[in-house]
Amino acid sequence: MDWESIFAVLFSTFAICVILMVIAIPEIIKIAFEKQLFDVPDYRKVHTGRIPRLGGVAFLPGIMIAVFLAFSWMGNYGVEVRDTGVFPEIMLGAAATLFLYMAGVADDLLGLSYKVKFPIQILSALLLCSAGLWIGDFYGLLGIHRIPGWIGVPFTVVVIVLIINAINLIDGIDGLASGLCIIGIAAFTVFFLQNGLMAYAVIGVASLGALLPFYIYNVYGTSRKRTKIFMGDAGSLTMGYIIAAFTIKAATLQDDIPANAPGQPYSFIYAFSILLVPILDVVRLFCHRILHGRSPFSPDRCHIHHKFMAIGLSIGQARHTIIGISLILFFFNIIMFRYLNINILVAVDIVLWTLMHLFLSRRIRTLKSRNAESARTYLE
């Protein structure tokens, strides 16, 4: 493998997407102010100014342009694409991403009910499965190994829809969703390069080229200078689907990896460990809402970032803490999988997550009690 040529392709792809984002995002902000297209503050949101919500509109066009150019240049760089069998997956995945992207744009501009978005998510998941990309082995999780298609395909659809919503729902404070996506996609890109999946690696670096400029505008921009922008559903649904597709591809790679690669079930654990924080948070949220007799898609202030801010952390501190927790769980899993059974490893993850939330909930109750006591003392 000619790493110099591969680096040239990947760097060119990344640079093109960055340039496109740097050109597009200021124009999107300008149009948003002209047309008064802002994210309206409410009781769940932490911002107060007029901030455009259309940052994600630039994601898919920029990624597709960079990826298609990279595919056309690979031969000129002398890069051999051995994984040509994945192109049906990529083409159907691109079509599915386009469906979600259009739904996201419509939601950002007009507002769409989850009753509309949810079927589109299911359709997009089915398109990927129709390319033959679905989970057919649990590698001993819950004592299950090989599973037939009539179980594997519906399960894969559930996983894809879960990941899409996990990224969408955790997009609540500046830089959190995009930061987690940057880490996740970077980790998947390295994984795909290690396993010779050049086409997937190209999509990964293009996605990073879209996310990094957006992250800078989102975190360091200001509403006063008109340099701040939110991802919106167009961005979160697009990135959520890309990461979901990466997850399924990595999780189903066990039978294709070389004999000298890390053993079973490394790929499966690697794939899902990257996304543990948003996945566990969305599962917790859905269970909490259902147990309280509400729709799992109903809005509230029970997200993990709301909890960290409730104990006194700033937006930046909450973001860095959650991203740090995500990295710790990821590295813990890919190190400990050699020593712990997959079921024990998953149980440890869930116990650690539960203990953290119990601590946060107790801390929040203590702070509320102190504030109430202080208010009573002041009135007396």
192-207 per-position pLDDT tens digit: 998 888 889 999 999 9
| pLDDT for 369 | 78
- What is the pLDDT confidence band of residue 378, given thresholds at 50, 70 and 90? very low
What is the percentage of the chain residues whose pLDDT exceeds 70?
88
| CB burial string 212-242: b at 16+ within 10 A, e below | ebbbbbbbebeeeebebbbbbbbbbbbbbbb
Global pTM value = 0.91
User: CB of 122 within 8 A of CB of 157?
Assistant: yes
* CA dist list (Å): 29 to 33, 209, 216: 6, 19, 14
**Weakest mean pLDDT among 99-103, 139-143, 151-155, 371-375:** 371-375
Between CA 4 and CA 22, with CA 193 as vertex, the angle to 5 degrees is 75
> What average pLDDT does range 140-155 have in this prediction?
90
Residue 339 CB contacts under 8 Å (≥ 6 apart), including other chains: none
pLDDT, one tens digit per residue, over 229-242 is 999 899 999 999 99
369: left (phi over 0), alpha (psi -120 to 50) or beta: alpha
Nearest to 97 by CA among 280, 235, 292: 235
Question: Above 90 in pLDDT, residue 208?
Answer: yes
Is the pLDDT at 8 greater than 70, yes or no? yes
Range among 194-198, 315-319, 375-379 with highest mean pLDDT value? 315-319
pLDDT tens for 29-71 read 999 888 887 766 555 555 456 788 888 999 999 999 999 998 8
Q: Which of the 8 DSSP states describes residue 150?
A: H
Q: Find, among 168, 323, 326, the residue nearest to 239 by Cα.
A: 168
pLDDT in tens, 72-115: 877 666 666 656 567 888 999 999 999 999 999 999 888 888 88
Per 3-state DSSP, the chain is made up of helix, strand and coil in percentages (nearest 5) of: 75, 0, 25
Residue 258 has pLDDT above 60, yes or no: no
- Dump the DSSP string for 305-321: HHHHHHTT--HHHHHHH
- Residue 174 φ then ψ, to 5°: -55, 125
Mean pLDDT of 349-376: 82
